[in-house]
């Protein structure tokens, strides 16, 4: 079973939501944590509130910039010596109707949700392999990485990609002491429903004018009434310790997997039947 005491972790999106809750859960278990985020003021306030100066450090890090992630890695190594856990958690959401979504917004969410994860793995994995100690790479996806809904295609595309990437990564590392976990929650209390206001097409505009729509209102209600980030973070810690790959939090979504499986197999069987037809 994986242990956390006196090991070092790097957490992106650590100033709020799941990232902050994971940071607190790690410190409570004796780990050292480098908190990374783009919101330096909030990051500093949250780090000070945890009040564990011997266990915590912070760094401004834009996960879309590979050089910045490498610099954050170097700072983490300088402070803690080794890195055992990498939480590629930073992420944003983006709603819209296909055919009406700005390409620059597609690039924005892909750079954060997918390439931010890739940058974390590429920056930290070589060093984790070299020191050879037990550790884990934890990528934040979503239940949205397993089942789609209308009007969220950019979010689903990136989260499906993170799930697939994590599955491939787990296969590569199966004979190493480094495990992989992919977080696939439904609704966890956070501020993610406001993240899209930072997209290129909305940046600098009054966010209030974008809030009066059914998708925003529905998402906000579901997130605000979701599982606490602290409860989810405890589940994450338990799952890592037990080397669990998928981390789910919602019993109500189980039928979704059955329906998806049935649809895939129905079309698979139909295609196989067609291939056997005489030409």
**Which of the residues are catalytic?**
155
State whether residue 81 is helix, strand or coil: coil
Cα atoms in the Cβ-side hemisphere of radius 13 Å centred on 33 = 31
State whether residue 72 is helix, strand or coil: helix
- Alpha-carbon distance of 235 to 233, in angstroms, equals 5
- Alpha-carbon distance of 79 to 84, in angstroms, equals 13
- Alpha-carbon distance of 103 to 247, in angstroms, equals 31
262: phi then psi, degrees, rounded to nearest 5: -65, -40
Q: CB within 8 A of 56, min separation 6: which ones?
A: 23, 27, 32, 33, 34, 35, 47, 50
- Alpha-carbon distance of 163 to 136, in angstroms, equals 16
Q: For strand 178-183 and strand 246-247, is the pairing parallel, antiparallel, or unpaired?
A: parallel
Are the C-beta atoms of 144 and 156 separated by less than 8 Å?
yes
Of 85, 92, 83, nearest to 63 (Cα)?
92
* Beta-bridge partners for 188: 227
- Alpha-carbon distance of 229 to 172, in angstroms, equals 30
Distances, alpha carbon 107 to alpha carbons 64, 70, 102, 145, 162, in Å = 10, 21, 9, 18, 15
């Amino acid at each position: 079973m994986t242990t956390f005491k006196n090991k070092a972790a790097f957490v992106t999106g650590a100033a709020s939501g799941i990232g902050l809750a994971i940071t607190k859960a790690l410190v409570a278990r004796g780990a050292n944590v480098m908190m990374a985020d783009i919101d330096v003021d909030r990051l500093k306030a949250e780090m000070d509130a945890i009040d564990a100066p011997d266990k915590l450090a912070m760094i401004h890090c834009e996960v879309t910039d590979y050089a910045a992630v490498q610099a954050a890695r170097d700072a983490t190594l300088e402070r803690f010596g080794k890195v055992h856990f990498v939480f590629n958690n930073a992420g944003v959401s983006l709603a819209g109707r296909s055919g009406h979504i700005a390409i620059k917004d597609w690039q924005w969410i892909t750079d954060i949700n997918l390439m931010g994860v890739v940058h974390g793995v590429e920056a930290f994995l070589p060093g984790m392999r070299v020191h050879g100690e037990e550790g884990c790479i934890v990528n934040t996806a979503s239940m949205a990485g397993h089942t789609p809904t209308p009007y969220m295609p950019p979010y689903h595309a990136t989260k499906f990609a993170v799930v697939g990437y994590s599955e491939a990564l787990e296969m590569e590392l199966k004979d190493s002491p480094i495990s992989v976990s992919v977080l696939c929650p439904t609704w966890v209390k956070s501020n993610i429903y406001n993240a899209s206001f930072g997209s290129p097409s909305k940046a600098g505009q009054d966010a209030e004018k974008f809030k009066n729509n059914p998708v925003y209102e529905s998402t906000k209600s579901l997130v605000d009434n979701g599982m606490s980030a602290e409860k989810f973070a405890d589940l994450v810690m338990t799952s890592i310790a037990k080397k669990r790959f998928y981390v789910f939090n919602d019993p109500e979504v189980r039928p979704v997997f059955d329906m998806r499986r049935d649809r895939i197999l129905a079309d698979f069987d139909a295609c196989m039947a067609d291939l056997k037809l005489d030409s």
